[in-house]
């Protein structure tokens, strides 16, 4: 009686055909025709190697270069920044080599309000209210009271002074 053959299939490491990044491990199939010849041959799939990949730190992947594994930065799925424009990272590599930054630009400092401009706006709002009040007297064919005319004149004079002072 023939002793059973003990066959140990080697571990193989698979990589992506496009990016060449490590995708997992497997074992090759045995070529059935080789068994008929009392030999054992393994069928290695494409895009595989017997060389194990290195441990990969966070935000890195192992990439097969044809001879060895290399660590490549992996920021896919992250948002980086080019100035104030957000850029979605879709490829392997270091985005900083493309001039991108991981942090968004700081918000612009708000421009402090100009007190003169604010006063002009307040005067215009008051002038509009007084004008509307005077217009309501005109609409009902009544004389506009002197205190309304005086207030309108004072507001208009102050606004004119502010407009010509700069």
pLDDT tens across 98-120, in order?
999 999 988 888 888 888 889 89
Quick one: 22 and 68 in the same domain?
A: yes
Q: In terms of residue numbers, what domain contains 147?
A: 115-164
Look at residue 130 and tell me if it is in a domain: yes
The span from the CA of 148 to the CA of 134, in Å, is 7
Helix H or strand E encompassing 65 = none
* Closest to 83 (Cα-Cα) out of 101, 68, 95: 101
Look at residue 5 and tell me if it is in a domain: no
Question: 38-65: b or e for each residue (b if 16 or more CB lie within 10 Å)?
Answer: eeeeeeeeeebbeeebeebeeebbbbbe
Q: Are 27 and 44 in contact (CB under 8 A)?
A: no
Look at residue 6 and tell me if it is in a domain: no
The span from the CA of 166 to the CA of 106, in Å, is 33
Instruction: Record the pTM.
Output: 0.58
Look at residue 147 and tell me if it is in a domain: yes
Look at residue 20 and tell me if it is in a domain: yes
| Predicted pLDDT at 33 | 87
The span from the CA of 59 to the CA of 63, in Å, is 13
Look at residue 25 and tell me if it is in a domain: yes
The number of distinct structural domains making up the chain is: 3
HSE on the CB side for 79, CA within 13 Å? 7
Give the residue ranges of the chain where pLDDT is below 70: 1-2, 5, 166
Look at residue 143 and tell me if it is in a domain: yes
Look at residue 1 and tell me if it is in a domain: no
Quick one: 42 and 31 in the same domain?
A: yes
Quick one: 83 and 120 in the same domain?
A: no
Quick one: 81 and 66 in the same domain?
A: no
Quick one: 56 and 29 in the same domain?
A: yes
Quick one: 16 and 49 in the same domain?
A: yes
pLDDT tens across 124-149, in order?
999 999 999 989 888 899 899 999 89
Quick one: 27 and 68 in the same domain?
A: yes
């Amino acid at each position: 009686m023939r002793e059973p053959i003990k066959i140990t299939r080697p571990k193989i490491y698979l990589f992506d055909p496009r990016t060449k990044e490590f995708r997992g491990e497997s074992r090759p199939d045995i070529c059935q025709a080789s068994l008929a010849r009392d030999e054992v041959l393994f069928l290695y799939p494409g895009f595989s190697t017997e060389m194990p990949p290195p441990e990969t730190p966070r935000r890195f992947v192992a990439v097969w270069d044809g001879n060895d594994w290399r660590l490549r930065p992996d920021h896919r799925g992250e948002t980086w920044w080019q100035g104030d424009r957000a850029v979605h990272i879709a490829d392997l590599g270091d985005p900083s080599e493309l001039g991108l930054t991981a942090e968004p630009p700081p918000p612009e400092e708000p421009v402090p309000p100009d007190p003169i401009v604010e006063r002009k706006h307040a005067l215009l709002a008051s002038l509009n209210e007084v004008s509307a009040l005077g217009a309501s007297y005109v609409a009902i064919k009544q004389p506009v009271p002197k205190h309304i005319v005086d207030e309108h004149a004072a507001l208009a004079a102050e606004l004119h002074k502010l407009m010509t002072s700069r």
